[in-house]
């Protein structure tokens, strides 16, 4: 998965620099070391001498097919589909959701689907509170989840303080001899 992260980061830089396809391939291939360099050498040797220049899309497709194994992608897809908030704060859950959702793009292609997947992973109480509303977009759902979860935590902390005060007041000394 690190290979995919690396390729995405390089591609962002190349897009900012407004490189053409040939420059993207040349620059990216010059950054390879170790296993990636071995793959590149083998990939180039396997092409006929009169083959057209490698397009950026061809490079990305072949790079990903070699370095990002289908089995790993399937595992990440399953991890995404079974993702639960658990003890994570809503913001942490959102970040993990975003990180894993890129491996299951068909599951979150539409905003409504994305909201549905996100909602399913929230803990039951928060999910129940959010289900009664319709949200115009994913970010709106996340914002409401953060506010509600923060209020729940605030109320729990207040409840613990009150319980602590109540139990502390029952330790009066005995007024009569035993």
Tens digits of per-residue pLDDT, 63-116? 888 887 888 889 999 999 999 999 999 999 999 999 999 889 999 999 999 999
Tens digits of per-residue pLDDT, 5-54? 888 888 899 889 999 988 999 888 888 888 888 888 888 888 888 788 88
Q: Which of 76, 71, 61 is nearest to 11 (CA)?
A: 61
Question: What letters, b where the CB count within 10 A reaches 16 and e where it falls short, cover 83-108?
Answer: bebeebebeebbebbeebbebbeebb
For residue 78, the model assigns a pLDDT of 96
For residue 88, the model assigns a pLDDT of 94
CB 38 within 8 A of CB 10: no
* Torsion on CA atoms 115, 140, 5, 80, rounded to nearest 10: -30
CB 25 within 8 A of CB 59: yes
């Amino acid at each position: 998965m690190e290979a995919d992260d690396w390729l995405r980061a390089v591609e962002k830089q190349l897009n900012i620099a407004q490189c053409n396809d040939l420059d993207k391939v040349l620059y990216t291939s010059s950054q390879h070391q170790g296993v990636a360099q071995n793959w590149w050498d083998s990939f180039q040797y396997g092409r006929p001498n009169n083959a057209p220049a490698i397009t950026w899309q061809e490079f990305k497709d072949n790079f990903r097919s070699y370095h990002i194994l289908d089995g790993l992608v399937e595992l990440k897809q399953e991890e995404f589909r079974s993702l639960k908030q658990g003890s994570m704060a809503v913001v942490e859950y959102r970040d993990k959701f975003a990180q894993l959702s890129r491996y299951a793009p068909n599951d979150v292609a539409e905003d409504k689907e994305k909201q549905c997947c996100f909602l399913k992973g929230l803990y039951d109480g928060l999910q129940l509170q959010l289900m009664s509303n319709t949200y115009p977009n994913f970010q709106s759902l996340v914002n409401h989840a953060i506010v509600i979860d923060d209020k729940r935590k605030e109320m729990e902390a207040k409840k613990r303080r009150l319980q602590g005060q109540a139990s502390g007041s029952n330790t009066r000394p005995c007024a009569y001899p035993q």
